[in-house]
Amino acid sequence: MKFNNRNIQIGRNVQLGTNVRIGDNCIIYDNVQIGDNSIITNDCVIGEPTGRYYHDENYINPATIIGANSMIRSHAIIYAGSVFGEGLMTGHRITVREGANFGINCLISTLADIQGNSNFGDYCRLYSNVHICEFSQLGNHVFVYPYTIFTNDPLPPSNHYKGPTIGDYTIVAVHSVVLPGVKIGENCLIGANSVVSRDIPDFSFAVGSPAKVQRDIRTISSKEAAGNHYPWMHRFERGMPWENIGFDNWVKK
Amino acid sequence: MKFNNRNIQIGRNVQLGTNVRIGDNCIIYDNVQIGDNSIITNDCVIGEPTGRYYHDENYINPATIIGANSMIRSHAIIYAGSVFGEGLMTGHRITVREGANFGINCLISTLADIQGNSNFGDYCRLYSNVHICEFSQLGNHVFVYPYTIFTNDPLPPSNHYKGPTIGDYTIVAVHSVVLPGVKIGENCLIGANSVVSRDIPDFSFAVGSPAKVQRDIRTISSKEAAGNHYPWMHRFERGMPWENIGFDNWVKK
Amino acid sequence: MKFNNRNIQIGRNVQLGTNVRIGDNCIIYDNVQIGDNSIITNDCVIGEPTGRYYHDENYINPATIIGANSMIRSHAIIYAGSVFGEGLMTGHRITVREGANFGINCLISTLADIQGNSNFGDYCRLYSNVHICEFSQLGNHVFVYPYTIFTNDPLPPSNHYKGPTIGDYTIVAVHSVVLPGVKIGENCLIGANSVVSRDIPDFSFAVGSPAKVQRDIRTISSKEAAGNHYPWMHRFERGMPWENIGFDNWVKK
């Protein structure tokens, strides 16, 4: 029952790579490019136009680029004007607004709400129902766990937006809030249900509301093996570029 | 590729104003009224019937009224028996249950879940993924930021529902919980991640779990200009009725 | 306008009981069984295949079983390989992954995200936007209120998953987090916005971050009548098997 080409609509100047498959009831708007071997499952909207589309006869839909080998699960809404490196993987019902730039091999899970005008490095994992505000800057290998929110308005409502900045390899656990303009360094762990209101230095484990640095993450014992768990790259490799070769060997490359 | 009239279903006694446009795959149930110049984008359901529809042959769908100049983004589900003043603007995948009454120019953002049997004044802004319980009462110009929840059952589970009441111009920041029956006054600011368990007087800045009044909001400095930021109506006017004329002039009118 | 059989797709070896109704734009994949008198409303996906479906020509979709007298509201995505006892009731846009086993008469509300490989007893109520992680174990009559998250990774990211376990008749209030491997006993009440980081004994009222036991729930007064509110089964019977006969009589049966 795969790919019956039922009720699909494809706009103008859509470029589909070889072996791209589009599910039923999908809408692909103008100026979308989808890389080779990608799969768009049912009921997705790719290249959703911004509001001006409905009012301006001269509206031109910005280019949307989905890299090769991507897999977009059903009911995604991806706005025009976003760019995704190869190997994008999504859950269901994601929403990504315009101006989001993603590196390669990123994951965006079910119900994640990416507000656009933000940058994401390679291998980021945005889990279920995260909300990433405009003007956020995420490094590489950043993991944001479910229901975490990034915010950008320090005195709501205002016109003074400043998104958070998150360093490489940092983990933000579930149900946390990162306040406007906060910088979290590299290799940090933010504990569940935290509110991060101040900058956090590299290699910190911080938790609480407001989040306070508790210790150096390099002192947290593993629960799976002897030694410490963080930096996690020596303990976890599923889906990471160092899978099967180890982090140290990958870094040397 | 706008408005191809593909796979649209329109029930009985549906009244569409002049220049109303309906997107593909939409379902408009019986007794829906949509005001002039409104846009319903793809995959929306307007006038969703309540459970009795499926079991009772004599079921009559309650009237649903969407005011003029509204813009409903894709995948909305709006139940029969709700009323929206003109200028409604929505994000994607909103859900609004029966018996919700909205004033004019309200915003309901992506994934917001409005449980119905509630009242909302004019120019309310309900941001992404808020959850507003039944029997809530919101004044005018109330802003509720992402992932905030209003609750109505003081001893769950019980049959003793009491929704929150929120005064005009009050701002509830992200990731907060307002407990059953709580009254938040006018011109308040509730800080991020608060749990509001007691009534909050007018002009308070309250934060924490449980939320405690910290100070008068009129003493909070602006980050954008000299002077104080609150009441915010002198600092923020985008989309508000005092845009371009200033709050003081608007009040005098 | 009910059930027009528009744009429906039905896979191979789908077994529909008598009087089953399927809404427009639904997709029912291979090897789905739906019990008598069930209603699947519009835009649902039942038996969603796992990722291997798209890459493996020999993929066989696991069986999906929906019990009799179920009502699945629109835009549900239910993966292949889950089993639901009779009387399942859902809100809109639920997502249930593979390997979820539900008892009879469960409720899964709007936007709930059930990650699969979990067990749920009879008469569980999972309210709006809850997130239940893999390897969770819920007893009978467990109520999980909106935006509560269950987690299973104690040192994220790791490979050491342990889901929470929740005893019969326990209530977890809104916006709470239950940490990996935590056991909450029977007849507990977890207050709003808690983070449950340690095991909680039977009959406890616990609240806070981290959640601490405050008192025996049997000492909490009712707000509706003389006496105490908990155990709640004497105070609340809507939709429960003791409705109209009383809990004590039902237990004796």
Task: Quickly list DSSP for C90-138.
Answer: E-SS-EE-TTEEE-SS-EE-TT-EE-SSEEE-TT-EE-TT-EE-TT-EE
Helical ranges in B52-176 per DSSP H: none
8 A C-beta contact, residue B221 and residue B227: yes
What's the start-to-end Cα distance of chain B, in Å?
Answer: 43
Q: From residue A245, how far is each of A169, A237, A241, C199 by CA, in Å? A: 18, 9, 9, 39
C-alpha to C-alpha distance for A87 and A124, rounded to whole angstroms: 11
Residue B27 has a pLDDT of: 93
Cα torsion A230, A232, A235, A241 to 10°: value is -160
Instruction: Beginning with the edge strand found earlier in the chain, give each strand of the sheet holding B195-196 in spatial order.
Output: B9-10, B27-28, B45-48, B77-79, B95-96, B113-114, B131-132, B149-150, B177-178, B195-196
Contacts of B56 (CB under 8 A, 6+ apart): none
Mutate to test the interface with B, among C147, C190, C219 (most CBs of B within 10 A): C147
Mutate to test the interface with B, among A27, A74, A151 (most CBs of B within 10 A): A27
Mean pLDDT of C144-159: 96
C195 in reach of chain A (CB within 8 A): yes
8 A C-beta contact, residue A2 and residue A20: no
CB pairs under 8 A between A and B: 100
Give the range among A65-69, C55-59, C215-219, C221-225 with minimum mean pLDDT.
C221-225
Confidence label for C5 from pLDDT (cuts 50, 70 and 90) = confident
C209 in reach of chain A (CB within 8 A): yes
C205 in reach of chain B (CB within 8 A): no
C-alpha R_g of chain B: 19
Mean pLDDT of B171-178: 97
Percentage, residues of chain C above pLDDT 70:
100
CA atoms within 13 A on the CB side of B110: 20
Chain A positions touching B171 (Cβ under 8 A) are 156-157
**Which residue did the predictor score with more confidence, C51 or B14?**
B14
Q: Which CATH architecture has domain B9-220?
A: 3 Solenoid (2.160)
Mean pLDDT of C9-13: 95
A9-252 CATH fold: UDP N-Acetylglucosamine Acyltransferase; domain 1 (2.160.10)
Q: What digits encode the pLDDT tens for the residues A73-88?
A: 999 999 999 999 999 9
Average pLDDT, chain A: 96
A113 closest CB neighbour out of B111, B171, B193: B111
Q: Which chains touch C (3 or more CB pairs under 8 A)?
A: A, B
Residue A224 has a pLDDT of: 79
Closest residue in chain C to residue A21, using alpha carbons only: C54
> Does position C119 have pLDDT exceeding 70, yes or no?
yes
The tokens for C126 are: 């999972």
C-alpha to C-alpha distance for A34 and A83, rounded to whole angstroms: 10
A158 closest CB neighbour out of B145, B174, B224: B224
Encoded amino acid at B244, one letter: N
Residue A3 has a pLDDT of: 83
Question: How far B203 CA sits from the closest chain A CA (Å)?
Answer: 15
Q: What digits encode the pLDDT tens for the residues A158-198?
A: 998 999 999 999 999 999 999 999 999 999 999 999 999 99
Chain C positions touching B148 (Cβ under 8 A) are none
Residue B1 has a pLDDT of: 66
Q: What digits encode the pLDDT tens for the residues A214-234?
A: 999 999 998 878 899 999 999
Out of 3.40.250.10, 2.160.10.10, 3.40.30.10, 3.30.565.10, select the CATH number for domain C9-216: 2.160.10.10
> Does position C1 have pLDDT exceeding 70, yes or no?
no
Chain C positions touching B57 (Cβ under 8 A) are none
Closest CA to C130 of A110, A142, B75: A110
Which three-class secondary structure state does DSSP give residue A96? strand
Mean pLDDT of B161-177: 97
A227 in reach of chain B (CB within 8 A): no
Q: What digits encode the pLDDT tens for the residues A88-144?
A: 999 999 999 999 999 999 999 999 999 999 999 999 999 999 999 999 999 999 999
C6 in reach of chain B (CB within 8 A): yes
Question: How far B167 CA sits from the closest chain C CA (Å)?
Answer: 23
Residue A6 has a pLDDT of: 87
Chain centroid to Cα C165, Å, comes to 14
The tokens for C233 are: 């089964």
8 A C-beta contact, residue C174 and residue C147: yes
Instruction: Beginning with the edge strand found earlier in the chain, give each strand of the sheet holding C83-84 in spatial order.
Output: C15-16, C32-34, C64-66, C83-84, C100-102, C118-120, C137-138, C165-166, C183-184
Place of tokens 């019902």: A93
C45 closest CB neighbour out of A4, A74, A91: A74
Q: From residue A253, how far is each of A234, A244, A248, B192, B248 by CA, in Å? A: 16, 14, 9, 43, 64
Closest residue in chain A to residue B224, using alpha carbons only: A160
Encoded amino acid at B180, one letter: P
Residue B15 has a pLDDT of: 98
C-alpha to C-alpha distance for A75 and A44, rounded to whole angstroms: 5
Q: Is the ipTM of this complex over 0.90?
A: yes
Place of tokens 């109506």: B233
Closest CA to C47 of C63, C69, C24, C26: C63
Which three-class secondary structure state does DSSP give residue C45? strand
Residue A186 has a pLDDT of: 98
Residue C180 has a pLDDT of: 97
Q: What digits encode the pLDDT tens for the residues C101-113?
A: 999 999 999 999 9
Confidence label for A1 from pLDDT (cuts 50, 70 and 90) = low
CB pairs under 8 A between A and C: 100
Percentage, residues of chain B above pLDDT 70:
100
Residue C139 has a pLDDT of: 98
Q: What digits encode the pLDDT tens for the residues B21-38?
A: 999 999 999 999 999 999
Residue B180 has a pLDDT of: 97
Closest CA to B122 of B142, B136, B145: B142
Confidence label for C226 from pLDDT (cuts 50, 70 and 90) = confident
Q: From residue B13, how far is each of A238, B16, B29, B30, C5 by CA, in Å? A: 56, 10, 9, 6, 22
C-alpha to C-alpha distance for A36 and A86, rounded to whole angstroms: 9
Mean pLDDT of C211-237: 94
Mutate to test the interface with C, among A40, A147, A217, A234 (most CBs of C within 10 A): A147
Closest CA to B204 of B165, B171, B159, B175: B171
Residue C237 has a pLDDT of: 95
Is the backbone of residue A233 left (phi > 0), alpha (psi -120 to 50) or beta? alpha
Which three-class secondary structure state does DSSP give residue B132? strand
Confidence label for B253 from pLDDT (cuts 50, 70 and 90) = confident
B236 in reach of chain A (CB within 8 A): yes
For B:88-117, CB contacts with A below 8 A are 91-93, 110-111
Backbone angles phi, psi at B234, to 5 degrees: -85, -10
Closest residue in chain B to residue A6, using alpha carbons only: B7
Mean pLDDT of C26-36: 97
Closest residue in chain B to residue C228, using alpha carbons only: B155
Answer yes or no: do A92 and C75 touch at CB < 8 A.
no
C-alpha R_g of chain A: 19
Question: How far C112 CA sits from the closest chain B CA (Å)?
Answer: 12
C-alpha to C-alpha distance for C124 and C148, rounded to whole angstroms: 14
**Cis, bond preceding B231 (omega within 30 deg of 0):** yes
CB pairs under 8 A between B and C: 100
Chain C positions touching B195 (Cβ under 8 A) are 175, 192-193
Residue B5 has a pLDDT of: 84
Closest residue in chain A to residue C160, using alpha carbons only: A224
Residue A165 has a pLDDT of: 98
Question: How far B58 CA sits from the closest chain A CA (Å)?
Answer: 33
Q: What digits encode the pLDDT tens for the residues B89-104?
A: 999 999 999 999 999 9
Q: What digits encode the pLDDT tens for the residues B220-240?
A: 998 878 899 999 999 999 999
Question: How far A242 CA sits from the closest chain B CA (Å)?
Answer: 35
B77 closest CB neighbour out of C92, C145, C193: C92
Burial of C223 (0-12, 13-18, 19+ CB in 10 A): middle
- The Cβ of residue A170 has, within 10 Å, a number of other Cβ atoms equal to 25
The tokens for C132 are: 């239940």
A13 in reach of chain B (CB within 8 A): no
